[in-house]
Amino acid sequence: MAAGHDSFHHVRDFPYFELPFGIKIELPFGLTKFMVLQVVAALLVFWIFRGLAQRVQSGQPATGRWWNFWEALALFIRDEVVRPTIGSGHHRHDDEHHHSQTNHAHHGHENPAHRLADDETEPLRDIMAMHHAEAGGHPADKYLPFVWSCFFYVLFCNLLGAIPWLGSATGEINVTGALALTAFGAVVLYGSRELGPVGFWTNLVPGMELPGAMKFVLVPMIWLIELLGLLIKHGVLAVRLFANIMAGHTVIGVILGFIALAAGEGMLFYAILPTSILGQVAIGLLELFVAFLQAYVFAFLATLFIGMAVHPH
């Protein structure tokens, strides 16, 4: 289909970059522009956070608006997404509960003088425990590298689409499908590490008190339903990102297309020209917001799925 009759031409992937005045930059070795843009996004993420890491590894805060902006985004994902969503972990809570019960039992048989001395040192123990937890980091922080990678990679792919004549790789279903597949692999990996390879899959079914015959019938059915739900959730993760990014770029293309349709229509052209340009600017600003929002949504849902995998039911 000719480019002039293809409403989605500017959001499709091609083996070339199309520039104004009909200029095309052909790509070698079977590469496409979305492949190149994905590599560019990955390199930008590496360059920015390698530089940020070098500045904070000495223990001093990063300075400068550029570095503070990226640090603030990273801390937002850590403090408002990963840590609250995944939590501190049930094992730690159980250990603390068991330790508390042991202490109470021990206090019940000890000398009152020893109990008084122990009570006096309890605040000090609490402070030391808090300091140890802070030094070791939050238990959910071990999932941060993956979630950070998802967020900033998707963000840069989205932002590259705001540059004229480039395009957004996340507006391609194959790209978002690969990202969702990666998130699914992370969920299986982290869940298997926490619960064991067998435990992860068996924990898809919640514990139920059922008679023997009914359990034999219902448990496999529920397991299949839960497995299907797990796959559907990650499929929706791919479709959501693809649809939102592609829809925004399509609206921009349609608004600009009004100018070409009105060409040669006299006064109508001069009425449509400024209106279309202003509409395109407004949608472009909205697209910048959507670029950040969709990166956040992808990272949040990936974190939510990981949390459900490592802390089932």
Alpha helices in the chain (DSSP H): 33-56, 65-77, 83-86, 90-107, 112-136, 144-160, 173-195, 197-202, 212-262, 267-310
Top-confidence residue, 122 or 160: 160
Place of tokens 């209106």: 275
The answer, yes or no, to whether residue 129 has pLDDT greater than 70, is no
The answer, yes or no, to whether residue 56 has pLDDT greater than 60, is yes
Do residues 170 and 237 touch, judged by C-beta distance below 8 A?
no
- Closest of 248, 49, 220, 268 to residue 148, by C-alpha: 49
pLDDT tens track for 214-266: 777 888 898 999 999 999 999 999 999 999 888 876 777 677 666 667 676 66
Q: What is the mean pLDDT of the chain?
A: 80
Do residues 184 and 310 touch, judged by C-beta distance below 8 A?
no
Angle among Cα 134, 82, 35 to the nearest 5 degrees reads: 125
Predicted confidence band of residue 313 (pLDDT cuts 50, 70, 90): low
Per-residue pLDDT at 133: 45
pLDDT tens track for 189-200: 999 999 998 989
Predicted confidence band of residue 209 (pLDDT cuts 50, 70, 90): confident
The answer, yes or no, to whether residue 103 has pLDDT greater than 50, is no
Percentage of the chain modeled with pLDDT above 90: 44
Place of tokens 């603390």: 96
Per domain, the residue ranges of the chain are 23-88+138-310
Per-residue pLDDT at 91: 45
The answer, yes or no, to whether residue 113 has pLDDT greater than 50, is no
- Closest of 172, 179, 298 to residue 242, by C-alpha: 172
Per-residue pLDDT at 260: 67
